[in-house]
Amino acid sequence: MTEETLLEAMEKMDKAVEHVQGQFQSLRTGRAVPALVEKLLVEYYGAPVPLQQLASIQVPEARSLLIRPHDNSTLAVIEKAIRNSDLGVSPNNDGVAIRLNFPALTEERRKEYVKVAKNMAEDGRIAIRNLRRDARKHMEAAEKESVISADELERAEKELEKITHEHVEKIDSALGRKEQELLEV
């Protein structure tokens, strides 16, 4: 009973850590990476579709992206989606592909991105603590129903606390790496 609850909590916490790390990838650093635009929603035949499904995204140079649509008729809608996004770059459409040239980040902009990363990390920590709370409630209910003993509950809570701490550490170390990456000139 407690093992199942702990395993389920651990799996959900792993997913929370992965989610935060995925969010970190969407934050712009000094280099251009496809993750910046992959999830960008493009209005395609009346439905929002992620850009990665409509085009291939390449990195020809450190500060530029090349977006080649699978269907040339989507060039205009992809360009519009990029213009309306918060990327802060102007797309260059040559009729075949769209090129995005990213300017170097200012110190002020880097610090803003660090704040955004810290908020993302805090959201991840909150999600992990909520998962811990839910697992603890589940185990306490099992103890009240006499499914597990008080000793088992205490051992399981210690294990749950250890698992929670490990996952929060993973988020903190990912945040540290992202901060260093963002502040690197």
Q: What is the CATH number of the domain that holds 136?
A: 1.10.132.20
Q: Considering only 18-32, 51-65, 137-151, which range has the smallest mean pLDDT?
A: 18-32
Integer Cα distance of 50 and 38 in angstroms: 6
Same-domain check for residues 7 and 45: no
Listed in sequence order, the residues at least 6 apart from 138 whose beta carbon sits closer than 8 Å to its beta carbon are 5
Integer Cα distance of 78 and 93 in angstroms: 10
The total number of residues shown for the chain amounts to: 185
- Number of H-type helices and E-type strands within the chain: 6, 6
Listed in sequence order, the residues at least 6 apart from 109 whose beta carbon sits closer than 8 Å to its beta carbon are none
What is the pLDDT of the chain when averaged over all its residues? 89
Q: 3-class DSSP state for residue 161?
A: helix
Domain boundary among 101, 118, 133: 101
pTM for the model stands at 0.72
Contact of 74 with 44, CB cutoff 8 Å: yes
Integer Cα distance of 155 and 12 in angstroms: 20
Same-domain check for residues 165 and 117: yes
Answer yes or no: is 117 within a domain.
yes
In order of 137, 138, 142, 156, 157, the CA distances from 149 in angstroms are: 15, 14, 9, 11, 12
Amino acid code (one letter) for 53 = Q
Place of tokens 């519009």: 80
Domain boundary among 101, 128, 152: 101
Same-domain check for residues 8 and 58: no
Mean pLDDT to the nearest integer, 46-55: 90
Answer yes or no: is 145 within a domain.
yes
pLDDT band with cut points at 50, 70 and 90 for residue 18: very high
In order of 10, 14, 37, 123, the CA distances from 40 in angstroms are: 30, 25, 5, 21
Same-domain check for residues 93 and 138: no
Same-domain check for residues 20 and 40: no
Same-domain check for residues 113 and 177: yes
Same-domain check for residues 90 and 111: no
Answer yes or no: is 51 within a domain.
yes
Q: Number of structural domains, the chain?
A: 2
Same-domain check for residues 93 and 121: no
pLDDT band with cut points at 50, 70 and 90 for residue 164: very high
Domain boundary among 58, 84, 101: 101
Integer Cα distance of 162 and 102 in angstroms: 42
Question: Domain limits at 120?
Answer: 2-25+106-183
Same-domain check for residues 21 and 111: yes
Which tokens in the block code for residue 13?
């916490």
pLDDT band with cut points at 50, 70 and 90 for residue 62: confident
Same-domain check for residues 82 and 139: no
* pLDDT > 70? residue 185: no
The predicted-structure confidence for 105-150, as pLDDT tens digits, reads as follows 788 888 888 898 999 999 999 999 999 999 999 999 988 998 888 8
